C-alpha cells in the first residue's frame, strides 16, 4: 500500500503511473503518485508471474493501490518480446499503455543520479518517469510486422547455425584423418539448413508481396544501392515499421550505433567506438549491404574512404556506412520516398 505522509494533505493528485519492469518469467510493478506541489509517493513494489494468472493478480492489486478518480498510465520498457503479452492484455481491456525504448529509461535514471539497478528500483524509475512526462499511447503493431519478425529471426538464426556447421566442417577437414561419418553428418545438416533458409526467404518475399502498401514501400527503399529485400525485412520487422522511433538519433541508439567516447583529463584517452548496446539483428543485417555500398554507391564510397584514412582498421568506415544506410532507410520510410543519388 502507499505510505501516505502528512505533506500530501490538501494537495491534489495530478497523475499516477504504474511502472512495470518485465523479465521472461515475471514482472515487477510499482505505482507512483504525483501531487500538485511536485511531491511524489511510491507504493510497495510487487512481483507477478508474466502469465495470464499474473496479469489478473496485477490488475486486482492495481485497483487496491490506485485512486480511481485519476486516470492511470501503465508504462513499461520494450524488453525483447517479453513485454508483449502484458501490453496486449492491457490494451484489450482499454488501459492506457505506453511502451518505451530501454535507452530512454536508462538516460532518465542517469538524470536522477540513480546508480542502483534492481527490478524494484527500475519499476519505480519507470513509474516516476510516467508521472513526469507525457508518453504516447502504445498501439499494437500491424500483424504483418509480427509475422515478418518471426520469419526474419528464424532466417537469421538458421544462417548462424549454418556458419557454425560450415566452420566445424572446415576444421574437421583440416585435421589428420578426418572422420568420414562426421563430415557426412555436417554436410547433411548444412544442406538441410540451406533448404530451410531458402524456404524462409521465400516466405518473407511472399509476405511482403502480399501486402500492397508494404510492397510499394519496399520497392522504393530498394532503390538504395546495396539494400535488398531481406535486409529491409529485418530492419522493418525489428522496428515494427519504426513505430517506437521518433528521430534519427533514437534509431542509432536503438541499433547500437551511438558513439561512445572515453576521455577524461590527460590520462584517459580511450578509443571512440559504437556502444553495441542495441539491436544486434539490425547491425548484422546492415553488414553486407554496407560493404556493397562502399563499392558501388559513390557517396557512401567517398565517406568510407575519408573515414578510414589514417585508420588502422577499415571496420570503422564500414560501421559508419552501416549507420548512414540505416538512417537513410528511416528517412525514406518516413517520407515514403525513393533514393535519389546526388550527382
267 domain residue, yes or no = yes
Give the C-alpha separation, 309 to 272, whole Å: 16
Is the separation of the CB atoms in 226 and 293 below 8 Å?
A: yes
Do 194 and 238 fall within a single domain?
A: no
Do 188 and 312 fall within a single domain?
A: no
Do 333 and 221 fall within a single domain?
A: yes
pLDDT above 90: residue 237: yes
Residue 120: which domain range?
A: 6-132
pLDDT tens digits, residue range 70-85?
Answer: 999 999 998 878 999 9
Is the separation of the CB atoms in 285 and 297 below 8 Å?
A: no
Do 193 and 231 fall within a single domain?
A: no
Do 223 and 342 fall within a single domain?
A: yes
pLDDT for residue 268 = 42
258 domain residue, yes or no = yes
1 domain residue, yes or no = no
Do 174 and 192 fall within a single domain?
A: yes
CATH number of the domain that residue 75 is part of:
3.30.420.10
189 domain residue, yes or no = yes
Do 217 and 198 fall within a single domain?
A: no
Do 14 and 128 fall within a single domain?
A: yes
Do 195 and 283 fall within a single domain?
A: no
User: What is the number of structural domains in the chain?
Assistant: 3
Q: Select from 192, 210, 228 the last residue of a domain.
A: 210
Q: Select from 112, 132, 152 the last residue of a domain.
A: 132
112 domain residue, yes or no = yes
pLDDT tens digits, residue range 1-12?
Answer: 444 443 455 678
Q: Select from 210, 243, 268 the last residue of a domain.
A: 210
How large is the average pLDDT for residues 201-206?
A: 97
pLDDT for residue 145 = 93
Do 192 and 217 fall within a single domain?
A: no
26 domain residue, yes or no = yes
pLDDT tens digits, residue range 84-122?
Answer: 999 999 999 999 999 988 878 888 888 888 888 899 999
pLDDT tens digits, residue range 13-56?
Answer: 889 999 999 999 999 999 999 998 888 899 999 999 999 999 99
Is the separation of the CB atoms in 320 and 304 below 8 Å?
A: yes
319 domain residue, yes or no = yes
pLDDT tens digits, residue range 174-197?
Answer: 888 889 999 999 999 999 999 999
Do 205 and 80 fall within a single domain?
A: no
Do 227 and 120 fall within a single domain?
A: no
137 domain residue, yes or no = no
pTM score of the predicted model: 0.78
Strand segments, DSSP code E, in the chain are: 13-22, 26-35, 40-42, 46-49, 72-77, 96-100, 259-260, 263-264, 268-269, 273-274
Backbone angles phi, psi at 118, to 5 degrees: -135, 170
Amino acid at each position: 500500500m502507499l505510505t501516505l505522509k502528512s505533506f500530501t494533505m490538501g494537495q491534489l493528485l495530478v497523475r499516477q503511473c504504474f511502472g512495470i519492469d518485465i523479465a521472461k518469467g515475471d514482472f515487477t510493478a510499482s505505482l507512483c503518485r504525483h501531487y500538485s506541489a511536485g511531491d511524489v509517493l511510491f507504493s510497495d513494489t510487487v512481483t507477478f508471474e508474466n502469465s495470464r494468472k499474473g496479469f489478473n493478480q496485477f490488475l486486482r492489486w492495481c485497483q487496491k493501490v490506485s485512486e480511481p478518480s485519476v486516470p492511470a498510465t501503465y508504462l513499461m520498457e520494450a524488453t525483447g518480446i517479453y513485454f508483449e503479452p502484458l501490453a496486449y492484455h492491457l490494451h484489450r481491456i482499454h488501459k492506457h499503455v505506453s511502451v518505451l525504448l530501454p535507452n530512454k529509461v536508462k538516460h532518465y535514471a542517469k538524470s536522477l543520479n540513480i546508480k542502483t539497478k534492481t527490478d524494484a528500483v527500475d519499476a519505480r524509475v519507470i513509474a516516476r518517469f510516467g508521472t513526469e512526462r507525457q508518453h504516447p499511447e502504445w498501439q499494437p503493431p500491424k500483424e504483418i510486422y509480427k509475422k515478418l519478425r518471426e520469419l526474419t529471426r528464424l532466417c537469421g538464426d538458421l544462417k548462424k547455425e549454418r556458419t557454425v556447421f560450415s566452420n566445424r566442417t572446415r576444421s574437421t577437414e583440416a585435421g589428420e584423418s578426418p572422420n568420414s561419418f562426421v563430415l557426412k553428418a555436417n554436410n547433411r545438416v548444412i544442406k538441410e539448413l540451406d533448404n530451410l533458409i531458402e524456404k524462409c526467404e521465400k516466405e518473407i518475399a511472399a509476405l511482403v508481396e502480399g501486402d500492397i502498401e508494404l510492397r510499394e514501400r519496399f520497392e522504393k527503399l530498394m532503390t538504395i544501392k546495396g539494400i535488398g529485400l531481406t535486409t529491409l525485412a529485418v530492419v522493418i520487422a525489428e522496428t515494427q515499421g519504426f513505430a517506437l522511433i521518433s528521430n534519427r538519433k533514437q534509431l542509432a541508439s536503438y541499433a547500437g550505433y551511438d558513439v561512445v567516447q572515453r576521455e577524461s583529463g590527460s590520462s584517459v584517452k580511450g578509443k571512440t567506438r559504437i556502444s553495441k548496446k542495441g539491436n544486434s539483428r539490425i547491425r548484422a543485417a546492415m553488414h553486407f549491404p554496407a560493404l556493397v555500398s562502399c563499392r558501388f554507391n559513390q557517396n557512401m564510397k567517398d565517406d568510407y574512404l575519408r573515414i578510414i584514412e589514417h585508420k588502422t582498421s577499415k571496420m570503422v568506415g564500414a560501421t559508419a556506412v552501416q549507420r548512414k544506410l540505416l538512417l537513410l532507410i528511416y528517412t525514406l520510410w518516413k517520407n515514403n520516398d525513393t533514393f535519389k543519388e546526388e550527382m
